[in-house]
């Protein structure tokens, strides 16, 4: 069986985790966003916001974790596996902050190709900031634009998920899978 690796992407606060959790509750294999884990681990080590203090180190940790998720997803024996954010997100965020990054970031995007990409657009009504999500809503919109540009630059066709309750959004995703 060739498992399809399905990405759920979007800027901060667009409902990705809620969608992933709903898919998981329906019995689908899902891989969570790992940036919170990286951020919380850094905070335990005394670094309040690793992404702001050392964007390259933070991004390297994300890249490593997302490559592991990609490889783990390839081992799943189901028709689809859902992943909260993909490898190109790392490049999109680095471009957003205007920082340079090693060439292997780009190579990782080219070597690890996902089967489908669903984008949750910025939605102010559900946006909330918290300890790990420090961006304003305007920054979330800018990140969204970088995500679209980055994924399209790697040849992905992006399917935008309309706003609606979580059951509607999940049904939309499931109905648009091949």
Residue 144, domain extent = 4-173
Answer for the pair 19, 166: CB distance below 8 angstroms, yes or no: yes
| Nearest alpha-carbon partner for 112 in 86, 80, 149, 136 | 86
Does 58 fall in a domain?
A: yes
Asked if residue 118 belongs to a domain, the reply is: yes
Picking from 53, 24, 50, the residue whose alpha carbon sits closest to that of residue 37 is 50
Residue 155 in domain: yes
Alpha carbon distances (Å) from 136 to 12, 96, 139, 161: 9, 14, 5, 22
Q: What is the pLDDT of residue 5?
A: 97
What is the pTM (predicted TM-score) of this model?
Answer: 0.90
As for how many domains the chain has, the answer is 1
CATH code for position 18: 3.40.50.300
Instruction: Determine, yes or no, domain membership for 153.
Output: yes
Residue 178 lies inside a defined structural domain of this protein: no
pLDDT along the chain (178 residues), means of 10: 92 91 97 86 78 80 94 94 97 92 96 97 72 68 95 98 96 94
pLDDT at res. 35: 83
Residue 133 is predicted with a pLDDT of 52
- How much is the pLDDT for 127? 59
């Amino acid at each position: 069986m060739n498992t399809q690796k399905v990405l759920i992407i979007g800027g901060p606060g667009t409902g990705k985790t809620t969608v992933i959790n709903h898919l998981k509750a329906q019995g689908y294999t899902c891989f969570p966003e790992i940036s919170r884990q990286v951020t919380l681990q850094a905070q335990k080590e005394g670094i309040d916001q690793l992404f702001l203090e050392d964007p390259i180190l933070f991004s390297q940790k994300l890249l490593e974790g997302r490559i592991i998720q990609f490889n783990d997803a390839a081992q799943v024996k189901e028709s689809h596996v859902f992943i909260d954010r993909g490898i190109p997100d790392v490049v999109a965020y680095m471009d957003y902050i205007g920082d340079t990054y090693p060439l292997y970031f780009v190579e990782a995007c080219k070597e690890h190709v996902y089967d489908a990409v669903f984008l949750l657009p910025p939605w102010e009504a559900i946006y909330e900031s918290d300890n790990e999500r420090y961006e304003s809503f305007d920054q979330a919109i800018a990140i969204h634009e970088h995500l679209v540009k980055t994924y399209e630059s790697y040849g992905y066709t992006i399917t935008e998920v309309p706003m609606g309750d979580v059951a509607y959004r999940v049904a939309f995703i499931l109905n648009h899978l091949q």
